[in-house]
Amino acid sequence: MKSLLERLAQAAPSAPRTTLVVGAGGGAELPALRRLGSRRLILAEAYPRFAEELAQRIRPDQGEEVWPLAIVATDGPLARLRVLNNPRDSSLKPPEGLLKHYPNVRITSEIDVPVRTLADAAEQLALDAEGDHVLVIDAPGQADELLSLVPESTLQTFSTIVVRCGVEPLYTDDRSAIEVRSRLQDIGFDHAIEGTETIFPHTSILMVREPMRVRIRQLESALVEVEARRDAATRVASERAARIEELSADAETHAVRLSELEASLDVAREEISRVAGERDACSELAQRLKAKIEADASEISQLRDDLSLAVKERERLSSECDSQTRLVTERAVVLDQLVRARDAAIQQVAALKGEVDNVQAQISSLAEERDSISARLVERDHKLQELAAALEDAARIAQANEQRAQAAERSLDQLRSEHDDLAKLSAKRASEIEALTRARVASEERASALERRIVEQQKRIEQLESESAQALVRQQLMQEEFVKAEGQIELIKDLLLREPGL
């Protein structure tokens, strides 16, 4: 890795603003890192002993700083550091593949160390996207995880990334150098240069950010995001259209139900009108029956008064008959006593007999009249009972009709309530349909705008690809010129070396 840092210090057109070293170790590369001339040099080291040594060697007045922690991809309170008997190869991952090449390597201790994510570190350092920053990753077993789980935008803030990793996987969940290089190329880094001083199975790689490829990558990501948003908007529009159709179907169903309820309401109103008519008819019948009963009661009262008078007259006539009978008896006694005067009193006796016959006839007439009055009284009682029964039947019919009218009124109130609820629901559904229609129109407009932006981005991508191709052609031409210049320099050197006296 030292050779790569030396080459970077020589080839860099300007000093980097910030250099972040993940796994600075004991400071073996510190002189080479200083030759980069960074304004800020951040040395992150998880192994406490190495961190203490670095703290004693740094120059804070020149922007050098030590972070005694582990830089990781995902956040957490602590991480378990596995310290090996060769501390430089210590890692947060078990050294599975490393043991195949170095059987004598072993874990001497395990310690919990504080952590900070690479994204948080970049945010804390306030790295600008267009700045000239350097990232050095010398954390065994973590290179692929840092490069795959950290957001691309965080990695693209660095103009140069130097990675020390294994030619093959040396730790659990590790990846080979080829895969690491491929991952960096995918996010816009190129011009891979390998270090010459690393010992197998380790290697080191230097990758430089290609602005055109980064821009194309960003545009591709933006295009994917726009397509995802377009698809989401299309799905939302489809869902809203389906919802509108569903609400329309519900509105039609509610309209049919409302029509049925209105028809039922009309039928109920007709039933209520009919019941009201029957109730009025029953009321008139009850009033007529009541008037008739009152008239019959008055007639019966008159008949009862007449009967009382007739009874009194009969009693009077009976009293007179008794008195006449006593008189006849007395006269019979007188007649017996006056047998001798019978002939003289024959006319008087005949007259008395005639009077007795008249009285008996009157008694018979009064008895017949009494029987007739009793029969009429019985007939009136029967009629009164029939009228009372009819009145009770009419009252029951009126009560039943009243109950039916009340039930119909309750049904009418319930139907009115349902009608009002359905009217409110229909209005609510109509407002929802209108809102969803407006939302669908807005979604369609946004989808159209997104499609136009996609077309513009596609044109921009094609333009950038064309410019990138032209830049590659120019770069190849410059490389050819560089090769020719080197050949000419070698030729001049050869000629100079061949000159005598040199």
Question: Average pLDDT in the 107-134 region?
Answer: 87
Could you say which of 1.10.287, 1.10.760, 1.10.10, 3.40.50 is the CATH number of the domain covering 230-298+362-464?
A: 1.10.287
Split at pLDDT 50, 70, 90, the class of 36 is confident
Cα 373 from Cα 306, distance rounded (Å): 9
Backbone φ and ψ of 260, nearest 5° = -60, -45
Could you say which of 3.10.20.30, 1.10.150.120, 3.40.50.150, 1.10.10.10 is the CATH number of the domain covering 2-209?
A: 3.40.50.150
Check: CB of residue 112 under 8 Å from CB of residue 79.
yes
Q: List the one residue out of 169, 208, 203 whose CA is nearest residue 187.
A: 208
Predicted confidence (pLDDT) per residue in 166-188, tens digit: 889 999 989 998 999 888 888 88
DSSP annotation of 91: B
Check: CB of residue 386 under 8 Å from CB of residue 378.
no
**Predicted model pTM:** 0.48
First CA to last CA across the chain, in angstroms?
Answer: 38
| 120 against 322, higher pLDDT | 120
pLDDT of res. 66:
94
Q: Does 354 score more than 70 pLDDT? A: no
Split at pLDDT 50, 70, 90, the class of 432 is confident
Helix, strand, coil fractions of the chain, as percent rounded to 5: 70, 10, 20
Give CA 114 to chain center in angstroms: 41
Establish how many alpha carbons lie within 13 A of residue 272's alpha carbon, considering only the half-sphere containing its beta carbon.
15
Strands 40-44, 107-117: pairing kind: unpaired
Q: Does 22 score more than 60 pLDDT? A: yes
Give CA 180 to chain center in angstroms: 44
Domain boundaries, the chain: 2-209, 230-298+362-464
Quick check: helix, strand or coil at residue 134? strand
Check: CB of residue 48 under 8 Å from CB of residue 36.
no
Give the CA distances from residue 163 to residues 23, 35, 142, 166, 256, in Å, rounded to whole numbers and listed in that order. 11, 18, 10, 10, 73
Q: Does 84 score more than 80 pLDDT? A: yes
Collect contacts of 222-227 with beta carbons under 8 A, ≥24 apart.
222/457, 223/454, 223/457, 223/458, 223/461, 226/450, 226/453, 226/454, 226/457, 227/454
Helix pair angle (211-337, 346-498), 10° resolution: 170
**Which strand ranges, in their side-by-side order, compose the sheet holding 18-22?**
64-67, 40-44, 18-22, 133-137, 160-166, 202-209, 189-194
Predicted confidence (pLDDT) per residue in 217-271, tens digit: 777 777 888 888 888 878 887 887 777 777 777 777 777 777 777 777 777 677 7
Q: List the one residue out of 477, 422, 436 whose CA is nearest residue 256.
A: 422
pLDDT of res. 496:
64
Predicted confidence (pLDDT) per residue in 127-162, tens digit: 877 678 899 999 999 888 888 888 888 888 888 899
Cα 294 from Cα 312, distance rounded (Å): 27
Mean pLDDT computed over every residue of the chain: 78
* Weakest mean pLDDT among 53-67, 117-131, 336-350, 451-465: 336-350
